[in-house]
Amino acid sequence: MQAAAVVVKNVFRRHRKQYIGLIILSAFLLLLSGGFSRYIKKVSGEIKLKTQMEEELQRKEVKALIEEFRCFPLRDTKEFYYENGYGTARTYGGKRKHEGIDLIPKDGKENVHPVVSASDGIVEQIGWLKLGGYRVGIRSETGFYYYYAHLASYAKGLRKGKKIRSGELLGYMGSTGYGTEGTRGKFVCHLHFGIYRQVEEKEKSLNPYYLLRFKENG
Q: How far is the CB of 207 from Zn ion (least distance, A)?
A: 12
Binding site for Zn ion (CB under 5 A): 102, 192
- Closest contact distance (angstroms) between CB of 116 and Zn ion is 18
Contact yes or no for 103/73 (Cβ under 8 A): yes
3-state helix, strand, coil in the chain (%, to 5): 35, 30, 35
Looking at the Cβ atoms of 147 and 154, the one nearer to Zn ion is 147
Q: At what angle do helices 59-68 and 16-53 cross, to 10 degrees?
A: 120
Q: Report which of 181, 192, 141, 131 is spatially closest to residue 164, judged by C-alpha positions.
A: 141
At residue 94, the 3 state secondary structure works out as coil
For the bound state, the minimum distance from the C-beta of residue 99 to Zn ion, rounded and expressed in Å, comes to: 8
CB nearer Zn ion, residue 119 or residue 175: 175
Residue 135 vs 192, nearer CB to Zn ion = 192
Calculated CA dihedral for residues 130, 134, 140, 146, nearest 10 degrees: -60
Question: In this chain, which residue has its C-beta nearest to Zn ion?
Answer: 192
Minimum CB–partner distance for residue 136 and Zn ion (Å): 15
